[in-house]
């Protein structure tokens, strides 16, 4: 079988991250999404080690809606590590919460400075977007390393994966998620709990938005009940991927 040539057009084809959700503990899948090969090629994270009952908690923090302190309280009480992907707005608006994240052993990841569609900006602009976040988080918190990137809106191309990798960032996607970013729609903590628990599976990277009161209220029970099922919560720095 002949390989398709890599062209400028193919490098710039944009994708919106999606996946087949896990059910009954089966693994989530990106086999049918059309981008699995480039995600693997550039070392992006979708799953952790699927042979182990490990979970990775990741939060997107585009802006603060009053619930991150509660989330941090739960993580501290339960001794669970997490990563918070932040924007430039968040850095400027919430320096004390950033310091608390780092002081309590969490990672801060890159969610870009202004939350653009990365596939529609130049490599130079992309570099500015990402390095400004990294530099200003260091100034605020002292965290010198920033290895992880969550692309805004889940939109990416092979070029954005390649450019960010060259800048030292590992793209982090996810294998557990639900529509939790719309603050006008509140379904209650039970709804959030059930949406997350229905999808957990070995090696799962869980995406939650910190603007959701439902998530904040459900988090302790999610952690407790996942542990009852034999799962451990790990830091992204401990993640060792296997092929997916």
- Looking only at the bridges linking them, the beta strands covering 204-209 and 54-61 are parallel
Distance CA(72)–CA(51), nearest Å, equals 29
> Catalytic residue among 42, 111, 201, 209, which?
209
Q: Is 73 a catalytic residue?
A: no
Residues in the chain: 244
Q: What residues have CB less than 8 Å from 166, skipping those under 6 apart?
A: none
Beta-sheet pairing, 232-233 with 15-16: unpaired
12 a catalytic residue:
no
Catalytic residue among 42, 60, 111, 180: 60
Show which residues are catalytic. Answer: 60, 209
């Amino acid at each position: 079988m002949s390989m398709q040539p890599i062209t400028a057009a193919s490098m710039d084809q944009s994708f919106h991250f999606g996946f087949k959700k896990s059910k009954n503990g089966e693994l989530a899948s990106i086999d049918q999404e059309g981008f699995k090969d480039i995600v693997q090629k550039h070392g992006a994270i979708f799953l952790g080690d699927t042979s182990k009952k490990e979970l990775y908690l990741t939060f997107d923090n585009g802006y603060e809606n009053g619930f991150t302190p509660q989330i941090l309280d739960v993580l501290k009480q339960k001794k669970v590590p997490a990563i918070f992907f932040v924007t430039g707005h968040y850095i400027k608006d919430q320096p004390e919460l950033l310091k608390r994240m780092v002081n309590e052993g969490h990672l801060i990841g890159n969610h870009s400075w202004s939350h653009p569609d990365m596939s529609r900006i130049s490599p130079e602009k992309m570099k500015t977007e990402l390095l400004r976040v990294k530099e200003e988080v260091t100034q605020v918190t002292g965290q010198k390393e920033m290895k992880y990137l969550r692309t805004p809106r889940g939109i990416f191309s092979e070029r954005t994966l390649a450019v960010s990798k060259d800048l030292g960032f590992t793209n982090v996607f996810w294998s557990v998620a639900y529509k939790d970013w719309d603050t006008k729609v509140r379904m209650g903590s039970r709804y959030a709990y059930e949406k997350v628990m229905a999808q957990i599976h070995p090696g799962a990277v869980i995406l939650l938005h910190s603007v959701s009161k439902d998530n904040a209220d459900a988090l302790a029970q999610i952690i407790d009940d996942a542990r009852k099922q034999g799962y451990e919560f790990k830091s992204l720095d401990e993640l060792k991927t296997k092929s997916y």
